[in-house]
Structure 1
Amino acid sequence: MDATDLARKLQEEATCSICLDYFTDPVMTACGHNFCRECIQMSWEKARGKKSRRKQKGSFPCPECREVSPQRNLRPNRLLTKVAEMARQHPGLQKQDLCQVHQEPLKLFCLEEQRPICVVCREAREHRLHRVLPVEEAVQEYRLKLEEDMGYLREEIMKTEKLQAKEEQTLAEWQDRVKERRERLVVEFEKVAVFLVEEEHRLLQALKEEEEEIAVQLRDNKASLDQQGRSLDLLLLQLEDRSHREPLQMLQDMKDTLARKNSLCVQYSEVDLPKALKTVCRVPGQIEILRSFQEDIVLDASSAYPYLLFYESRQRHYLSPPTEGSTLRDKDRFVAYPCVVGQKSFSSGRHYWEVGVNLTGDALWALGVCREDVSRKDRVPKSPENGFWVVQLCKGKKHLSPMSGPTPVTLMEPPNYMGIFLDFEAGEVSFYSVNDGSHLHTYSQAAFPGPLQPFFCLGAPKSGQMVISTVTLWVKG
């Protein structure tokens, strides 16, 4: 090995792989690699912001081999300090950036070739017609471009991370909805005989396939965003590393470096969830079973809103004729809404009744049960907290103000025939579509606070009609 090779070897051993300059206060990591103390601390300080991804506390990867090394285990390398000092003083190792062809200092930057050149290269035929800048000006210009690209990448990473979080939340919400529907399916099938187990399994399988169909799309979309996030992270780290190098080192292969960002194909897509599950909770023969508990509901005229009318035997009557003064003072009468309750109260057992509905225009009605002591003078939300267990039947886009409480369940596509089933001991009020036997909603609680009455409410005049037993109910316009 000649003197030149020995000098080059000495220079390599005395150079820090982070700053690419001779060692200053060199230290050794646990894995045996050497760095300037300030260089390795700055490198780990940048990694601290991403520490949550690593899980190790107080430990960081070696820039050379990526082996995790405790920060407190840095040991001074005194021998390497002497070697670096010898290299600095060696006359043949004075640090210069020279043109490999002409051995002249690289003082210019060719804008067409995107690389540093010397003054001799500038006069050569290859660069004679090219635009050039002094290295100092080129460094300022391209550092700004790198900062701009890094800012763009940081924004894209933030967008990707937000979408990742949103996809995770959407998947969880979707699985919660599926879980609720699955539980309801199991409960409904437990109400009927053992011979329905086969149908139960069929519907559960359909729900599982429906869940998986959307869940697969959500997982695939999340995996795509994860991959995109990793690619953006990697490119950002590469640009950050280049932006902190020495000027000429930073400008090396600048054309390829900038092309990486321009070649990125950043995409954002979201899975549109269905508005409702396709798998319907329907137990064959359940309506027939429930009808064994059917009640003949007779309306309580003393509770009726003053302008409720009904048809019976082709005769139209006021349910309770509005008389001057006395009607509005009746303590049992609904005056805030067009409502009425059944004469019979239920404090035990199972009870079922059906109501025909014929909606016209923008209509908003309510059906269900209520406590005997609910407020009949004030407009309160029709919620279990206020003594109402109801569903709203909605047609049209406009919700009428009398029933604008947020709690009641609203059916945007109400059936023509509704079945209401009260299981008092079980603490449940269930609603069914008599047309196809599908389950619509169930209120469930530990126990009811007291006797309950069938509850009926019409939204406004000209909204349509209700058919209760043999009575057709409507509101005078």
Structure 2
Amino acid sequence: MDAVELARKLQEEATCSICLDYFTDPVMTACGHNFCRTCIQTSWEKAKGKKGRRRQKGVFPCPECREMSPQRNLRPNRLLTKVAEMARQHRGLQERDLCPAHQEPIKLFCLEDQSPICVVCREAQEHREHRVLPVEEALREYKLKLEEDMGYLQEEDRVKDRRERIMVEFEKVALFLAEEEQRLLRALKREEEETAMQLRNSKATLDQQRRSLDLLLLQLEDQSLREPLQMLQDMKGTLARKRNLSVQCPEVAVPAVVRTVCRVPGQRDVLRGFQEEVMPDPTSAYPYLLLYESRQRRYLSPLPEASTACGRDRFLAYPCAVGQQSFSSGRHYWEVGMNLLGDALWALGVCRDNVSRKDRVPKSPENGFWVIQLSKGKQPLSPGPTTPVTLTEPPSHIGIFLDFEAGEVSFYSVNDGSHLHTYSQAAFPGPLQPFFCLGAPKSGQMVISTVTMWVKG
């Protein structure tokens, strides 16, 4: 074996397979492979953070053969320490640090050519006008740049992973919502079929009773045409047939009363993304409508005894108030808590900012009101062009969602997340304000954000 081959073999034996440099404080694993102590510890620390099968504590794979090796079994290799020191001092192994053209130590780095050079190359015509740096300084500069690039790429990977995770989670939600939609539609279809069956059965019963009544009527007509004595003789049987004919009214199936409730899972969380702190405007409140701000422990509206002239913006016809905000675009959501007493009608929703506040007008979209009425103990009114929707079993909390561009106002039960009603039109005629209306005195309280409203009796 010649000297060059011997030098190459010595270099291989003195080189760490992880850092590809001469060994520094070499240690041997249980499987017989050698590494720098710092290199193998760093490799094992990185292996701790990787996901995969659980490993026994303190045992890690060898980077060379992947055999599991206890960390505590690392043994210093003093012989290899001497070999590495010999390799560092061997001139034949330092040729990689010499300029191949001039056999001078490479101590400079040409920034234009992106190549290491020696001092003789620096004075040559090829590099004389180029900007150069010492190798150590260029190494620090490029190391920082590489670290920045690595950080950027790692951040890109994290963003990519987050993007993929978001897409996967939304696909799961979309699949779940599609399944829930089909379940509700099937329930509604079954209810529709049951109602149709009830209607058919009721019609068949009524048809049977109608035929029986027609037959009895014909018999009575025939009886009335007979001779008086003969008619009186058969009267007992005729009256018995009449008594035996029982007319039963079948149970009425009302198609308008739908039992299947629309509850979209997670809808309240979505709506709360548009939630705002809506506050009633004291200057718009009915004179006997009291507003108490619990956070500040103070009355926002003057007490009736202290009120003087009513402003032009104050409601006089009903115990109503509007919100301080005015909406002319976007999506907005707020919630209202209620404690209803008695059977007085309440109302809440939105209204135009220029509705009549002096006169009593129906609270309908035609008059600038998009509201639902809340009542205990009253029969629901059939919604029409001048009648708002009335709930006879109102929840304790109601959410109102305004989508101005879509022309929609929707109402939801906060208690169970069910949809109550939606007004929809092509477009709203102008800015809208939150609307709150209470019933008679002692009919309960309404809570909007931190403000409690009630009518003084």
Length-normalised TM-score, structure 1? 0.50
Q: Deviations over 1:152-181 (max 9, x none)?
A: xxxxxxxxxxxxxxxxxxxxxxxxxxxxxx
3-state secondary structure, aligned to 1:459: coil
Q: Identity over the aligned pairs, expressed in percent?
A: 68
3-state secondary structure, aligned to 1:356: strand
Q: 2:426: which partner in 1?
A: 446
Q: 1:260 to 1:473 in 2, by over 3 A?
A: closer
2:195 to 208, 211, 214: 214
Matched, 1:298 2:287: no
1:315 to 293, 297, 301: 297
- Which deviates more, 312-321 or 445-454? 312-321
Q: CA deviation at 1:312?
A: 2.2
Q: 1:260 to 1:469 in 2, by over 3 A?
A: closer
2:400 to 399, 412, 420: 420
Q: Give yes or no for contact 1:309–1:475 (8 Å, CA) kept in 2.
A: no
Q: Give yes or no for contact 2:402–2:410 (8 Å, CA) kept in 1.
A: yes
Q: Give yes or no for contact 2:202–2:252 (8 Å, CA) kept in 1.
A: no
3-state secondary structure, aligned to 1:197: helix
Q: CA deviation at 1:345?
A: 0.9
Q: 1:260 to 1:387 in 2, by over 3 A?
A: same
Q: Give yes or no for contact 1:283–1:438 (8 Å, CA) kept in 2.
A: yes
Q: Is there any run of 5+ residues in structure 1 with no aligned partner, and where?
A: 1-191, 400-404
3-state secondary structure, aligned to 1:420: strand
Q: Deviations over 1:79-112 (max 9, x none)?
A: xxxxxxxxxxxxxxxxxxxxxxxxxxxxxxxxxx
Q: Give yes or no for contact 1:359–1:395 (8 Å, CA) kept in 2.
A: yes
Cα separation, 2, equivalents of 1:355 and 1:431:
11
Q: 1:373: which partner in 2?
A: 354
Q: Give yes or no for contact 1:306–1:327 (8 Å, CA) kept in 2.
A: no
1:461 to 422, 441, 446: 441
Q: CA deviation at 1:195?
A: 3.4
Give the residue type in structure 2 aligned to 1:211: E
Q: Deviations over 1:342-396 (max 9, x none)?
A: 1111112211100111123344321100001111112222111211111122134
Give the residue type in structure 1 aligned to 2:394: P
Q: 1:279: which partner in 2?
A: 260
Q: 1:109: which partner in 2?
A: none
Q: 1:338: which partner in 2?
A: 319
Q: Give yes or no for contact 1:311–1:317 (8 Å, CA) kept in 2.
A: yes
Q: Give yes or no for contact 2:275–2:332 (8 Å, CA) kept in 1.
A: yes
Q: 1:138: which partner in 2?
A: none
1:411 to 391, 412, 418: 391
Length-normalised TM-score, structure 2? 0.52
Q: CA deviation at 1:301?
A: 2.3
Q: 1:325 to 1:398 in 2, by over 3 A?
A: farther
3-state secondary structure, aligned to 1:211: helix
Give the residue type in structure 2 aligned to 1:309: L
Q: Give yes or no for contact 1:356–1:466 (8 Å, CA) kept in 2.
A: yes
Cα separation, 2, equivalents of 1:239 and 1:458:
60
3-state secondary structure, aligned to 1:202: helix
Q: 1:299 to 1:320 in 2, by over 3 A?
A: farther
Q: Is there any run of 5+ residues in structure 2 with no aligned partner, and where?
A: 1-172
Q: 1:288 to 1:231 in 2, by over 3 A?
A: same
Matched, 1:267 2:244: no
Q: 1:437: which partner in 2?
A: 417
Q: 1:198 to 1:375 in 2, by over 3 A?
A: same
Q: CA deviation at 1:262?
A: 6.6
3-state secondary structure, aligned to 1:207: helix
Q: Deviations over 1:231-276 (max 9, x none)?
A: 655677799899999x9xx99xx99x97996797453322133694
Give the residue type in structure 2 aligned to 1:440: L
3-state secondary structure, aligned to 1:203: helix
Give the residue type in structure 2 aligned to 1:267: V
Give the residue type in structure 1 aligned to 2:309: T
Cα separation, 1, equivalents of 2:243 and 2:293:
75
Q: Give yes or no for contact 1:311–1:473 (8 Å, CA) kept in 2.
A: no
Cα separation, 1, equivalents of 2:344 and 2:321:
17
Q: 2:77: which partner in 1?
A: none
Cα separation, 1, equivalents of 2:321 and 2:243:
69
Q: Computing the radius of gyration over CA atoms, which structure comes out larger, 1 or 2?
A: 2
Give the residue type in structure 2 aligned to 1:317: Y
Q: CA deviation at 1:443?
A: 1.4
